C-alpha cells in the first residue's frame, strides 16, 4: 500500500520550543512514526525536537501535516522548515526516537548557551549575495568576513562553499573547543556560518556570539539543503553529506575529493571494512577491488587478524592521532586562494 511504497523521500527538520514533557512528546512521536511506517532518527529535549525520517511520499506528507497541527509546534514550525530529498524508509536501518539533553549534541548545557541567542538568519538569496561579496573581496585580500563551515571534516571534505574555513573536527561537540582555541581568528570579523539543515548553526552561532569577539554573526537559514534548492550551481561545490545510508546527495557534477589510496577523484563514502571501526572511507572501485577497503593499515591488520572478542571502538587508531581540536592558521590569502 501507499505508506510502504518505495518511491519516497527523506525529511530533515528541527523546531526549537519549550517542551514541558519531553517523555510524552517522545512517546507520541514514536507512535506517529510507527503508524506511518517511517524510519529514521528523532531527538526530543526540553528545548525542542530534531528529526530526519524516511518513508513513502504519502507518509512524509501526512507526517508534515500532523507535525504542523501539533499544538506545541503550531505557531513556530511551518512547511518551509521541512527539507526533503529523494529516498525513503530504506535509507535508515530502523527507527530511533529518544529524549536527550540537547536536540543537537554540542555538549553545552542549553541553559548556558541558548538557541534564543542565535546569529542573524539569512535566506539562501541573502547568503548567496554575502558569499559573492566575500569572494570578490577576498580575491583582492580585502575581506573582513569568515565563511565558516560548522560541520565535521568528513562532511566538508566531499562538499563545501568556495573560500570557506572548514574546521578539522570529528564531531560537533568539538566545535566549542575549536572556537575557544581560535578566538583570535574571529576577532572583529563578520562570520557567515552554515551547516546541513541549519540546526548546528543555531547553537553554534549562539556559542560564538557568547564569546563577544565577532563583529557580526550570520547563519544560513535552512542550511545547505535550502541553498541548493535555489542555487544548485551556486557557490557550494561537491556533494552534500547526509547522516543516513545514502551518505551524500548531489546537486552538481563536481567531485572535489579524492580516493585516499590512489588520489583519483572520488567522493562516495563506504564504511571501513574492519568490524572494529566506524570510520568512513573514500576508496574508489579500483582500489576496493584490490582489497583496499579499510581506513588505515592498523584496521587492515586488525581485519586480517580478525581478533575475536575485542570490543568495538568508537574510533580507530588513525583518528586517535588526529588532534581533538586543530588550531587554525588561516591567512586571507589562503581564503582567497580557493577562488
Number of domains in the chain: 3
Each residue's pLDDT tens digit, 196-228: 999 999 999 999 999 999 999 999 999 999 999
Same structural domain, 277 and 220: no
On the question of pLDDT at 7 being above 80, the answer is no
> Is residue 284 one of the residues assigned to a domain?
yes
Looking at residue 165, what DSSP letter applies?
B
> Is residue 172 one of the residues assigned to a domain?
yes
Looking at residue 179, what DSSP letter applies?
H
Same structural domain, 42 and 152: no
* pLDDT score of 335: 46
Last residue of a domain, one of 211, 242, 273: 242
* pLDDT score of 299: 82
* pLDDT score of 69: 95
> Is residue 3 one of the residues assigned to a domain?
no
Q: Are 117 and 184 in contact (CB under 8 A)?
A: no
What is the torsional sign of CA 186, 188, 192, 195?
A: positive
Same structural domain, 50 and 145: no
Each residue's pLDDT tens digit, 104-123: 999 999 889 988 899 999 99
| Host H or E run for residue 252 | none
On the question of pLDDT at 1 being above 90, the answer is no
> Is residue 248 one of the residues assigned to a domain?
no
What is the torsional sign of CA 152, 154, 158, 163?
A: positive
Same structural domain, 136 and 69: no
Measured distance CA(85)–CA(11) in Å, rounded: 7
Same structural domain, 232 and 124: yes
> Is residue 213 one of the residues assigned to a domain?
yes
* pLDDT score of 3: 57
Residue range of the domain that includes 170 = 120-242
Q: Can you state the percent helix, strand and coil of the chain, rounding each to 5?
A: 35, 20, 45
Q: Is 250 a catalytic residue?
A: no
Measured distance CA(92)–CA(170) in Å, rounded: 22
Average pLDDT over residues 322-338: 54
Each residue's pLDDT tens digit, 177-198: 999 999 999 999 999 999 999 9
Measured distance CA(27)–CA(97) in Å, rounded: 8
Give, in order, the Cα–Cα distances in Å from 74 to each of 65, 198, 300. Answer: 10, 20, 52
* pLDDT score of 142: 86
Same structural domain, 233 and 296: no
> Is residue 30 one of the residues assigned to a domain?
yes
Q: Where does residue 39 rank: exposed (0-12), middle (13-18), buried (19+ CB within 10 A)? A: buried
- CA R_g for the chain: 21
Same structural domain, 125 and 52: no
> Is residue 337 one of the residues assigned to a domain?
no
pLDDT class for 49, splitting at 50, 70, 90? very high
Exactly one of 15, 150, 195, 259 is catalytic; which is it?
195
Same structural domain, 164 and 266: no
What CATH number is associated with residue 24? 3.30.70.100
Same structural domain, 162 and 224: yes
Q: What angle do CA 255, 258, 260 make, to 5 degrees?
A: 160
pLDDT class for 332, splitting at 50, 70, 90? very low
Q: Are 178 and 325 in contact (CB under 8 A)?
A: yes
What CATH number is associated with residue 207? 3.40.250.10
Same structural domain, 274 and 227: no
Same structural domain, 125 and 224: yes
> Is residue 330 one of the residues assigned to a domain?
no
Same structural domain, 220 and 136: yes
Amino acid at each position: 500500500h501507499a505508506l510502504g511504497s518505495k518511491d519516497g523521500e527523506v525529511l530533515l527538520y528541527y523546531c526549537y520550543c519549550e517542551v514541558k514533557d519531553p517523555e510524552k512528546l517522545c512517546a507520541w512521536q514514536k507512535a506517529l512514526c510507527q503508524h506511518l511506517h517511517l524510519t529514521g532518527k528523532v531527538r526530543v529535549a526540553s528545548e525542542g525536537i530534531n528529526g530526519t525520517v524516511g518513508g513513502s511520499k504519502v507518509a512524509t506528507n501526512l507526517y508534515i501535516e500532523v507535525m504542523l497541527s501539533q499544538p506545541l509546534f503550531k505557531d513556530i514550525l511551518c512547511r518551509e522548515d521541512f527539507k526533503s530529498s529523494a529516498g525513503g524508509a530504506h535509507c535508515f536501518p530502523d527507527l530511533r526516537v529518544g529524549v536527550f539533553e540537547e536536540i543537537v549534541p554540542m555538549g553545552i548545557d542549553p541553559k548556558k548557551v541558548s538557541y534564543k541567542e542565535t546569529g542573524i538568519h539569512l535566506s539562501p538569496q541573502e547568503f548567496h549575495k554575502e558569499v559573492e561579496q566575500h569572494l570578490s573581496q577576498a580575491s583582492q585580500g580585502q575581506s573582513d568576513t569568515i565563511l565558516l563551515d560548522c560541520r565535521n571534516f568528513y562532511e566538508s571534505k566531499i562538499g563545501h562553499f568556495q573560500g570557506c574555513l572548514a574546521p578539522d573536527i570529528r564531531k560537533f561537540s568539538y566545535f566549542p573547543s575549536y572556537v575557544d582555541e581560535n578566538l583570535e581568528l574571529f576577532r572583529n570579523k563578520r562570520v557567515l556560518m552554515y551547516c546541513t539543515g541549519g540546526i548546528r548553526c543555531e547553537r553554534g552561532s549562539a556559542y560564538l556570539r557568547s564569546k563577544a569577539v565577532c563583529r557580526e554573526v550570520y547563519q544560513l537559514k535552512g542550511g545547505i539543503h535550502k541553498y541548493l534548492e535555489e542555487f544548485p550551481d551556486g557557490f557550494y561545490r561537491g556533494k552534500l553529506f547526509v547522516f543516513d545510508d545514502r551518505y551524500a546527495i548531489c546537486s552538481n557534477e563536481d567531485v572535489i575529493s579524492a580516493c585516499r589510496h590512489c588520489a583519483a577523484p572520488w567522493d562516495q563514502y563506504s564504511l571501513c571494512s574492519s568490524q572494529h571501526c566506524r570510520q568512513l572511507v573514500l576508496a574508489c572501485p579500483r582500489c576496493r577491488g584490490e582489497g583496499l577497503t579499510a581506513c588505515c593499515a592498523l584496521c587492515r591488520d586488525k581485519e586480517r587478524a580478525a581478533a575475536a572478542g575485542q570490543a568495538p571502538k568508537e574510533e580507530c587508531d588513525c583518528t586517535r592521532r588526529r588532534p581533538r581540536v586543530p588550531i587554525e592558521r588561516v591567512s586571507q590569502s589562503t581564503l582567497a586562494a580557493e577562488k
